[in-house]
């Protein structure tokens, strides 16, 4: 599999390492250096038309860091991304090149950077945007590479320095107070400097402030259940997957739907998950359903979408008829890859949630993955779903949604679904 050349890795040297240190991010793993060294079990890859995934399988969880390097013409090196793995020893003779090459990757090299740190270098064929994150069971580091976007007027492109600019406090601040990076069209195709950053997830707790959302007979407000579940989900994602998590609101306040999706777009987020609870005049109706954006003729869905979109439309235009057949007209933006990934995300979120709840609670019903014209999903650049975690109007589900143990279980199920989506190698490849 691997040839035995050292590929000049150690020669990268301390000077180069320090030069890159400003761009370097450590992501904490559980194991310290006191433990026996971890091993790289395998490096594998999967490539699609627009996307390459490189997976570093490890013998146990470790801390890792990553950075990018511009091309080095003096040494004949292309733009590179490297990942340093703390507490990892390469087996003797294992250092060298891994035969991975495709439209975005020239080759992958490994080397022992120091006594306690192994380095994996990806020699890039083109400028890329890299998303790096960790997954458990088995422990592994995932590097997702997509070609750096060309500057086009229709799709805002963040400046190269932007990925470092997201404030540390952003995960705890609502859009109103977060200095989210400004969207600025890039002037020119910058030199071939790749970009790497953590995966970003935006969680959107439905409603808030003057908009309580649906109300249960016992006075349970949808906005409060959604917010508590969102907060629990945020902590799980940040703690266990090492991804960056942002909330569209971090307290009980009204945030217009338009602002929520703008927030996610400005952050160049990778996933958008909107959390809601359902309501029906039929008190017996119960169950869990997950939506992705698409128009439909289903009357129940149109009623629901009208409820979820409602406050914003009334704010915009008092004349909007509440009896209109359609709550609003879907923008005709091209969905393409985003829709394929949204369907995949909706499927994982729905099954993750239902499969986590069923062994713990009786009568958990799956109403399935559905399509619907939800305003908050329309115009997001990233895969986006809206989950209805249950009916506040059903006596059993309403009572459960009012209990913190159930909301914790819902958050765990949502976490499981998002994790499965990130593990799914089909992401980015469906056409």
130-134-136 Cα angle (round to 5): 150
Q: Phi and psi of 290, rounded to 5°?
A: -125, 130
Distance in Å, CB of 388 to Zn ion, minimum: 8
| Interacting residue with Zn ion among 206, 208, 242, 413 (CB under 5 A) | 206
- 347's torsion region: left (phi>0), alpha (psi -120 to 50) or beta? alpha
Distance in Å, CB of 202 to Zn ion, minimum: 16
Neighbours of 60 (CB within 10 A): 17
Which lies closer to Zn ion via its Cβ, residue 308 or residue 416?
Answer: 308
Which lies closer to Zn ion via its Cβ, residue 175 or residue 208?
Answer: 208
Residue 341 Cα distances to 273, 297, 336, 373, 423, angstroms: 13, 22, 9, 17, 13
Which lies closer to Zn ion via its Cβ, residue 276 or residue 306?
Answer: 276
Tell me which H or E stretch contains 303.
helix 299-316
Which lies closer to Zn ion via its Cβ, residue 341 or residue 388?
Answer: 388
Distance in Å, CB of 366 to Zn ion, minimum: 19
Distance in Å, CB of 229 to Zn ion, minimum: 12
Which lies closer to Zn ion via its Cβ, residue 213 or residue 287?
Answer: 213
Which lies closer to Zn ion via its Cβ, residue 125 or residue 384?
Answer: 384
Give 85-112 as a DSSP string: EETB-PPTT--EEE---SSSEEEEEEEE
Distance in Å, CB of 275 to Zn ion, minimum: 8
Which lies closer to Zn ion via its Cβ, residue 206 or residue 208?
Answer: 206
Of 61-69, 206-214, 242-250, 318-326, the window that binds Zn ion (rule: CB under 5 A) is 206-214
Distance in Å, CB of 206 to Zn ion, minimum: 4
Strands (E), 148-241: 195-198, 200-205
Q: How many whole angstroms separate alpha carbon 134 and alpha carbon 142?
A: 6
Contact 336, 350 (CB under 8 A): no
Of 29-37, 42-50, 201-209, 311-319, the window that binds Zn ion (rule: CB under 5 A) is 201-209
Residue with tokens 């194991």: 31
Which lies closer to Zn ion via its Cβ, residue 86 or residue 207?
Answer: 207
Distance in Å, CB of 395 to Zn ion, minimum: 19
Of 199-207, 230-238, 330-338, 346-354, the window that binds Zn ion (rule: CB under 5 A) is 199-207
Distance in Å, CB of 214 to Zn ion, minimum: 6
Query: Among residue numbers 291 through 320, which ones bind Zn ion (CB under 5 A)?
Result: 308
Of 40-48, 186-194, 211-219, 286-294, the window that binds Zn ion (rule: CB under 5 A) is 211-219
Which lies closer to Zn ion via its Cβ, residue 311 or residue 427?
Answer: 311
Which lies closer to Zn ion via its Cβ, residue 270 or residue 312?
Answer: 312
Listed in sequence order, the residues at least 6 apart from 149 whose beta carbon sits closer than 8 Å to its beta carbon are: 129, 155, 157
Distance in Å, CB of 223 to Zn ion, minimum: 8
Number of residues that bind Zn ion (CB under 5 A): 4
Query: Among residue numbers 224 through 283, which ones bind Zn ion (CB under 5 A)?
Result: 276
Query: Among residue numbers 10 through 69, which ones bind Zn ion (CB under 5 A)?
Result: none
Strands (E), 304-363: none
41 by Cβ neighbours in 10 Å (0-12 / 13-18 / 19+) ranks as middle
Contact 55, 41 (CB under 8 A): no
Tell me which H or E stretch contains 400.
helix 395-401
Q: Is residue 213 involved in binding Zn ion (CB under 5 A)?
A: yes
Residue with tokens 């399509």: 371
3-state class (DSSP) for residue 377: helix
Residue least distant from Zn ion (Cβ): 276
356-362-367 Cα angle (round to 5): 65
Distance in Å, CB of 276 to Zn ion, minimum: 3
The residues binding Zn ion (CB under 5 A) are: 206, 213, 276, 308
């Amino acid at each position: 599999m691997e040839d035995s050349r050292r590929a000049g890795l150690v020669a990268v040297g301390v000077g180069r390492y320090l030069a890159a240190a400003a761009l370097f991010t450590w992501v904490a793993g559980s194991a310290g250096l006191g433990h026996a060294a971890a091993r790289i079990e395998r490096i594998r890859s999967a490539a699609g038309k627009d996307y390459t995934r490189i997976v570093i399988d490890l013998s146990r969880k470790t801390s890792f860091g990553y950075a990018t390097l511009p091309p080095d013409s003096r040494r004949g090196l292309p733009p590179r991304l490297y990942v340093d793995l703390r507490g990892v020893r390469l087996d003797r003779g294992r250092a060298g090149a891994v035969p991975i090459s495709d439209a975005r990757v020239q080759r992958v090299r490994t080397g022992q950077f120091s006594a306690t740190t192994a380095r994996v270098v990806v020699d890039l064929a083109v400028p890329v945007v890299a998303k790096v994150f960790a997954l458990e069971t088995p422990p592994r580091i995932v590097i997702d590479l997509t070609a750096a976007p060309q500057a086009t007027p229709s799709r805002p492109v963040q400046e190269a320095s932007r990925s470092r600019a997201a404030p540390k406090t952003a995960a705890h601040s609502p859009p109103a107070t977060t200095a989210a990076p400004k969207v600025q069209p890039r002037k020119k195709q910058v030199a071939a400097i790749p970009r790497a950053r953590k995966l970003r997830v935006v969680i959107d707790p439905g409603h808030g402030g003057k908009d309580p959302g649906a109300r249960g007979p016992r006075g349970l407000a949808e906005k409060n259940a959604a917010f508590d579940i969102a907060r629990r989900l945020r902590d799980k994602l940040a703690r266990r997957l090492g991804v960056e998590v942002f909330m569209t609101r971090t307290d009980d306040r009204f945030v217009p739907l338009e602002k929520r999706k703008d927030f996610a777009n400005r952050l160049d987020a990778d996933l958008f998950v909107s959390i809601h609870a359902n309501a029906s005049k039929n008190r017996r109706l119960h169950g869990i359903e997950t939506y992705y954006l698409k128009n439909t003729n289903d009357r129940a869905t149109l009623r629901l979408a009208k409820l979820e979109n409602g406050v914003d439309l009334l704010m915009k235009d008092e004349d909007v008829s509440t009896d209109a057949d359609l709550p609003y007209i879907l923008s005709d933006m091209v969905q393409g890859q985003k829709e394929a990934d949204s369907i995949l995300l909706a499927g994982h979120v729905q099954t993750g949630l239902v499969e986590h709840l069923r062994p713990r609670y009786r009568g958990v019903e799956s109403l399935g993955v559905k399509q619907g014209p939800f305003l908050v999903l329309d115009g997001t650049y990233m895969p986006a779903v809206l989950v209805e975690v249950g009916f506040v109007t059903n006596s059993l589900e309403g009572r459960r949604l009012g209990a913190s143990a159930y909301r914790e279980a819902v958050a765990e199920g949502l976490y499981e679904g998002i994790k499965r989506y990130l593990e799914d190698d089909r992401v980015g490849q469906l056409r």
